[in-house]
Amino acid sequence: MKIPYPILVTFKVAKTKGNLQLGSRWPILCLPILLAASACGSDILMITMGGTKSHKIPFWALAKGLIRRGHNITFISGFQPDFHLDGLEEIAPEGLVSYVRNFMSSDLVGARMRGEEPVAVTDILRYGYEACDAFLNDYETRSFLRSGRSFDLIMIDGAYPECAMGLVYKMKVPFMYLNTVGFYPMPLSNSGSPTPFSVTPFFGKAFTDNMGFIDRALNAAWNLGAISLHAVSMTILQGVLRRNFGYRMPHVYDMSKNVSFILQNGHYSVSYPRPYLPNVAEIACIHCNEPKRLDPELEEWISGAGDAGFIYVSMGSSVKTAKMTLAAHKLIVDALGRLPQRVLWKHDAEQNMTNIPSNLRLLKWLPQQDLL
């Protein structure tokens, strides 16, 4: 692996009768080599198979910092590049992009209103191997794999990381996780960090770390059920990987235990206590920037709220507000219209909305960090 930073080396110099021996010349001989090594950045491949755009954001932030330190970053995801960043090569295989777009096209809010799970368990399970199949069968992916490019490190999203293990196996390089979903324990438990069910709530239910006997039993049952279903999904995905990388490829469970390091998108102040091994570091808010001044028009509208203040509403990148039913829109708009505060709602179909209360503004994009 290339050396990204200078290394301080000390040498013992021996004297004989007032003259320096040959050992004294080693600092002079080695210095150019060390300086050359420090000027060469590493080639790093980042991969996220995550189904929402929010999975890209921590990778972008990390890429910016690594590029400033002289590293070369290649980033693969299921979303087209949004902006240009010098030193960052983004690859968005059309097969993966299309699959993710179709998979995330459902009305998640409408499902909740009907009393259904926003994403069915079967859909969560099939996403892993179907997205992997779409990714590996894409022409751009195949061209990338045939190119013979080499990397010093592969950084993988901790959510659905298994498909990227095929690239780790092919390129024979170290890998690490950027666990974008901080409450998801699977990458941590596979790498050796204990996740006791007595204090590790199942992320799909409303358990906390303060559970009685019954809740602990239910929590253990949910976690064991998730592990079992995940194992079934991985059996199918393993077949996809071996068709593309050969039948000698080890099982992804075994490969995942060799992770070198885990960057955890979380912080102890906003999450439950967890025992981590030394190879886990929490990096919550890695994407946070210094706030900039707001657009004058937006600043004036917010200031007009007076002492009541304002509320910012965003449902995240996975909820497509344009897919919501008119009934759901009306319920939310009517509720927000009764508030004394002014409300900014990040809404991707604001141009089609009518009868908007005077205290509510709908905008397709808002500078969230600058607002908050």
Asked whether residue 291 is assigned to any structural domain, the reply reads no
- The reply to whether 183 and 60 lie within a common domain is yes
Residue 358 resides in a domain: yes
Tokens representing residue 305 in the block:
């709220």
Per the CB < 8 A criterion, the answer to whether 93 and 138 are in contact is yes
d(CA 243, CA 36): 41
- Measured in residues, the chain has a length of 372
Q: Is the CB of residue 299 less than 8 Å from the CB of residue 293? A: yes
> Going by C-beta distance under 8 Å and a sequence separation of 6 or more, which residues neighbour residue 235?
none
| Residue 91 sits in the same domain as residue 110 | yes
Whether 128 and 160 have beta carbons less than 8 Å apart is answered as yes
Rounded-to-integer distance, Cα 315 and Cα 60, Å: 21
Distance CA 278, CA 294 (A): 41
Residue 234's Cα: distance from chain center in Å?
Answer: 20
Rounded to whole angstroms, the Cα distance separating 244 from 143 reads 13
For residue 371, the one-letter residue type is: L
Q: CATH number, domain at 319?
A: 3.40.50.2000
Verify that 61 and 30 share a domain, yes or no: no
Domain region containing 332: 296-371
* Separation CA 286–CA 292 (nearest Å): 17
CATH number for the domain spanning 127: value is 3.40.50
The verdict on 111 and 26 lying in the same domain is: no
Domain assignment present for residue 340? The answer is: yes
Is 289 part of a structural domain of the chain?
A: no
Letter string b/e over residues 273-294, b meaning 16 or more CB atoms within 10 A of that residue's CB:
ebebeeebebbbebbeeeeeeb
Does residue 154 lie in a domain region? yes
Is residue 81 in a domain?
A: yes
Residues 6+ apart with CB under 8 A from 68: none
259, 282, 305: which is the final residue of a domain? Answer: 282
Q: How many of the other CB atoms lie within 10 Å of CB of 184?
A: 16
Same-domain status, 98 and 214: yes
Could you give the number of structural domains in the chain? Answer: 3
Q: Are residues 36 and 50 in the same domain?
A: no
pTM passes above 0.85: no
* Sequence letter at residue 355: N
Q: What is the pLDDT along the chain (372 residues), one digit of tens a residue?
A: 444 444 444 444 444 444 545 455 555 555 565 555 555 689 999 999 987 888 888 898 899 999 999 999 999 999 888 878 888 999 999 999 999 988 887 777 777 777 777 778 888 889 999 999 999 999 999 999 999 899 999 999 988 899 999 999 999 999 999 988 776 777 777 777 888 888 888 887 888 888 999 999 999 999 899 889 888 999 999 999 999 999 999 999 899 889 999 998 888 887 888 888 898 888 888 888 888 888 888 888 888 888 889 999 988 777 777 777 788 888 888 999 999 999 988 887 655 567 788 899 888 888 888 787
Picking from 237, 254, 282, the residue at the C-terminal end of a domain is: 282
Q: Is residue 319 part of a domain?
A: yes
Nearest to 68 by CA among 49, 47, 85: 85
Asked whether residue 290 is domain-assigned, the answer is no
Residue 160's SS3 state is: coil
117 and 235, same domain (yes or no): yes
Pair 201, 56 in one domain: yes
Q: Are residues 233 and 346 in the same domain?
A: no
Domain boundary among 282, 306, 331: 282
Q: Are residues 252 and 324 in the same domain?
A: no
| Distance, CA of 264 to CA of 272 (rounded, Å) | 13
Same domain, 29 and 122: no
Q: Are 239 and 337 part of one and the same domain? A: no
